[in-house]
Amino acid sequence: MKKCQYADQIDDYLLNRLEGAAKEQFEEHYFNCPDCFQAMEERDALISTIQSRGAWIFKQKPAAERRDWVPAWKRAVSSFTPRQWATVGAAALVFFFVVFGVLPRFQGQSPQFVLSDNEVVRGESLTLISPVIDVKSVPSTFEWQQLGEDVEYKIFVYNSELLWSASTKDTRIVVPEEVKSHMVAGQKYSWQVKAFSAKGALVAASSKVQFQISAGS
């Protein structure tokens, strides 16, 4: 099977080594690529487990001084202290915990949903509340569904191109007067919101919703 060209960027993304346009391009890709999305979940679970428990799991006591010569295989077995045997067992438990415990739970939290007729993504869907369809005047605020605690939202407003973007931890944002001055009656606009975890990973996205300011407003 052909390897995805973005697969090598997964670790860089999880370890915050991607920045700017490269980071945004990777987010757009993996959120719509089932192979990369699954690999992200697996790698993230493994890295998080190692970061939180790795120091304890792999900590070893200083090697004891050598005594009389014994065969290599006996040295290998007998040199293990009770703590080191416990370490080996703990490492095995972590492996099974990640594979059979964490990953199924991560995968169960990542349903797929439809953004459009030809775009299906994995993650939580994010519902936009206002504005939608036709509005009587230039909107002063944009509002969307809350996903949970410690989530950062990024909003994008478009006409023929990106008109405005901003970030907030609230589910409602006020439109700056400078942006409102560029929005005119009779013109169609669209907007979208993306949600990011505390680690900066993209966890949800809305579809692009259109609205039009009534003529004569």
CATH number of 136's domain:
2.60.40.1220
Task: Identify the pLDDT of residue 70.
Answer: 54
The reply to whether 26 and 53 lie within a common domain is yes
Q: Is residue 197 part of a domain?
A: yes
The reply to whether 136 and 191 lie within a common domain is yes
β strands within 94-187, DSSP E: 112-116, 119-122, 124-125, 128-130, 133-135, 141-144, 152-158, 162-168, 172-174
Q: How many domains in the chain? A: 2
pLDDT (tens digit, 9 = 90+) per residue, 56-106?
Answer: 555 555 555 445 555 554 555 565 556 655 665 666 555 555 444 544 444
The reply to whether 171 and 136 lie within a common domain is yes
The reply to whether 55 and 121 lie within a common domain is no
Q: Is residue 95 part of a domain?
A: yes
The reply to whether 160 and 92 lie within a common domain is no
End-to-end CA distance of the chain: 56
Task: Identify the pLDDT of residue 91.
Answer: 61
Q: Decide if pLDDT at 10 tops 90.
A: no
The torsion region of residue 32 among left (phi > 0), alpha (psi -120 to 50) and beta comes to alpha
The pLDDT mean for the chain works out to 74
The count of other CB atoms within 10 Å of the CB of residue 178 is 8
Q: CA dihedral in degrees (203, 206, 208, 214; nearest 10)?
A: -140
Q: Is residue 1 part of a domain?
A: no
Task: Identify the pLDDT of residue 169.
Answer: 94
Rg, C-alpha atoms of the chain: 25
Q: Is residue 86 part of a domain?
A: yes
Task: Identify the DSSP state of 8.
Answer: G
Distance CA(111)–CA(119), nearest Å, equals 14
Predicted confidence band of residue 125 (pLDDT cuts 50, 70, 90): confident
Q: Is residue 2 part of a domain?
A: no
- Give the domain range for residue 142: 117-213
Structural tokens at position 180: 């409102």
pLDDT (tens digit, 9 = 90+) per residue, 146-200?
Answer: 987 889 999 999 998 899 999 999 999 999 999 999 999 888 899 999 888 887 8
133 by Cβ neighbours in 10 Å (0-12 / 13-18 / 19+) ranks as exposed
Distance CA(153)–CA(170), nearest Å, equals 7
